[in-house]
Copies of this chain bind each other. A is one copy, B any other.
């Protein structure tokens, strides 16, 4: 039987988890009480002011139900406001609060730094090539 750690999925999994834990650790260390996943949602609202939760779920590649619950936590934390959308009562209208805006920007700085560290000694071309390969794998799995 093929050894576990020879597979690409294994390395992918390990890399993603290592990166994610590393990034999360640095955010905590800087004193911010937010997860990377929560920040990604704040960021997608910041970048797309009129976005729906459905679209967020596609962007951050998570289930609709997860988005609802994470957003509830972000509201509890005072980073987001949820209202009924004026032109479509099925939708929600998400707005960043002042502290929501601040933490989105602050954590973004840390995220950029994280990326720099994670990609140390890897040239831009190689990163691009890796992205292309990952994209090809994604296509193959559809």
Contact = CB atoms under 8 A, between A and B. Distances in A.
Interface magnitude class on chain A: 35 or more
Contacts of A30: none
A84 interface: no
B8 A141 contact: no
A132 B105 CA distance: 32
B141 A18 contact: yes
B61 A14 contact: yes
A136 B126 CA distance: 11
A141 to B, nearest CB: 4
Contacts of A126: 133
Given A15-B137, A16-B16, A122-B133, A115 B1 contact: no
Nearest to A5: B59
A41 to B, nearest CB: 10
B17 A134 contact: no
B8 A43 contact: no
Interface of A: 1-5, 7-9, 11-23, 40, 43-44, 46-47, 59-61, 105, 108, 111-112, 115, 117-122, 126-127, 129-131, 133-138, 140-142
28 contacts: A1-B46, A1-B108, A2-B108, A4-B40, A4-B47, A4-B60, A5-B59, A7-B111, A8-B118, A8-B127, A8-B130, A11-B131, A11-B135, A12-B12, A12-B15, A12-B19, A14-B61, A14-B134, A14-B138, A15-B135, A15-B138, A18-B138, A117-B140, A117-B141, A118-B140, A120-B140, A129-B129, A130-B130
